[in-house]
Structure 1
Amino acid sequence: MDGLQILPLAVTMMLGPQIMSAIIFVTTPRAVRVSLGFLAGVALATTAGTAIMLGLAALLDLGDSSDNGSSGKIIQYVLVGLLAAAALKNWLGRATAEPPKWLTTLMAADPGKAFKVGLLVILVMPSDIMIMMTVGVNLAQNDASFAEALPFIALTVLVAALPLLITLLFHKRAEAAMPRIRDWMNSHSWLVNIIVCVIFIVLIL
């Protein structure tokens, strides 16, 4: 996978509750320690999830990546259909959409809980599972090793770390901006979900 494919995938991995969690953690009293716990969870989950998907893809005969009738391509087309349906559902339900209730509990999180959140927002989010599946299928179809997934994993963690890095670099400005960004994303969660679906569809096609 080249850089033009990796960066959008890494960004899409963190859109939605994932980046919202990272932003909430930098607004907590122990922002650095809690955020580092979250990043450790994201790194472990992305590494494990990608390795599992690559292993599953390697066990299946997915065919060549250029063959439109291969199993790998069929899986990608099914994913596009599911993403389109999810985007439509978010659009139709935008008037009553609310962010996940568990996000409101993160302000009191300690590093241990932040680590668990980092694991869960990667391993149980359907969008992230689909992205890691796409990476695994792509690597398997091109007979690539797991080492070629490391840039994707590193970029995902870097995107997750952006709220913390911005807070450390622009302390006062970030302290004022992050709560506003957090509140906007909470109130526009439906739009963020649609953006995730559209970006991923474009990447697959």
Structure 2
Amino acid sequence: MSLLTVLPLAIVMVAGPQLLSAVFLATSERWRRNSALFVLGACLSISTVVALAYLLGSGAASQGASRPLLDAVVVVVLLAAMVDTYRSREEAEPPAWMGRLGSASPRFSFRLGFLLLGFFPSDLLTSVAVGSYLAGHGLPLTDAAGFVALTALLLALPALAVLALGERGEAALPDVRDWMETNSWLVNEVVLAFFVVIVVTG
């Protein structure tokens, strides 16, 4: 997959409670370990979902499913993600548990990253779309590495900002959080629509 394709989908993966969680963890008591384990958990779950979708898509292709059929499956999955994003747009406010991330344990941070990035509806559907797209176009599973790596980098940005800028980076995080709370659903819709166009015209 080209970076042009990967980068927008990586943004979909983190736009919302995912990046908000990363922001809170970056200012937690054990922010280095918490942030690192959050990203690690996310990478493991994303890779697992993409690989499973890829195997299922490859199996369907080997049994005679055509590329247009697999592309249609990807489009349906992406449209489902768009519907879910739109329906949950009014729920932009972070849940109550997110306010407790300041005292989160490393174990909880790992579990949160694994579950949030692996099973949050829009993330699950996006990862399935990536795996299915690769399988449907006869591309190797390793092409998903850029998608996973870019998602991990975006999740790590709050911690990297604190590491590089210290108090200035920490002071900027609330503004990032507020912007994401207001605009993340719209960003997701635009990016998902972009990928639908790529699949349909590819």
TM-score normalised by structure 2 residue count: 0.86
Q: 1:63 aligns with which of 53, 66, 69?
A: 66
For 2:125, the equivalent position in structure 1 comes to: 130
Larger helix proportion of the pair:
2
Q: 1:73 to 1:120 in 2, by over 3 A?
A: same
For 1:164, the equivalent position in structure 2 comes to: 159
The CA distance in 1 between the partners of 2:45 and 2:24, in whole Å, is: 20
Structure 1 residue runs of 4 or more that deviate by more than 4 Å after TM superposition: none
Q: 1:104 to 1:74 in 2, by over 3 A?
A: same
Shift of 1:171: 0.8
Q: Conserved in 1, the CA contact under 8 Å of 2:81 and 2:125?
A: no
Shift of 1:90: 4.3
SS in structure 1 opposite 2:36?
A: helix
Shift of 1:162: 0.9
What RMSD in Å do the two structures reach over aligned CA positions? 2.0
For 1:67, the equivalent position in structure 2 comes to: none
Q: Which moved more, 1:171-180 or 1:155-164?
A: 171-180
Q: 1:12 to 1:97 in 2, by over 3 A?
A: closer
SS in structure 1 opposite 2:66?
A: coil
The CA distance in 2 between the partners of 1:176 and 1:23, in whole Å, is: 11
For 2:194, the equivalent position in structure 1 comes to: 202
The CA distance in 2 between the partners of 1:97 and 1:34, in whole Å, is: 23
Structure 2 unaligned segments of length 5 or more: list them.
Answer: 198-202
The CA distance in 1 between the partners of 2:47 and 2:86, in whole Å, is: 31
Deviations 1:14-46 (A, max 9, x none): 111111110110111211111111111111111
Q: 1:88 to 1:50 in 2, by over 3 A?
A: closer
Q: 1:144 to 1:161 in 2, by over 3 A?
A: same
Q: Which amino acid aligns with 1:60?
A: A
Residues 1-150 of structure 1: pairs in structure 2 closer than 5 A: 1-61=1-61, 62-64=65-67, 70-90=68-88, 94=90, 98-150=93-145
Q: Conserved in 1, the CA contact under 8 Å of 2:71 and 2:133?
A: no
The CA distance in 1 between the partners of 2:81 and 2:47, in whole Å, is: 23
How many percent identity over aligned positions? 31
Shift of 1:105: 2.5
SS in structure 2 opposite 1:60?
A: helix
The CA distance in 2 between the partners of 1:80 and 1:50, in whole Å, is: 14
The CA distance in 2 between the partners of 1:15 and 1:174, in whole Å, is: 19
Q: Conserved in 2, the CA contact under 8 Å of 1:39 and 1:157?
A: yes
Structure 1 unaligned segments of length 5 or more: list them.
Answer: 65-69
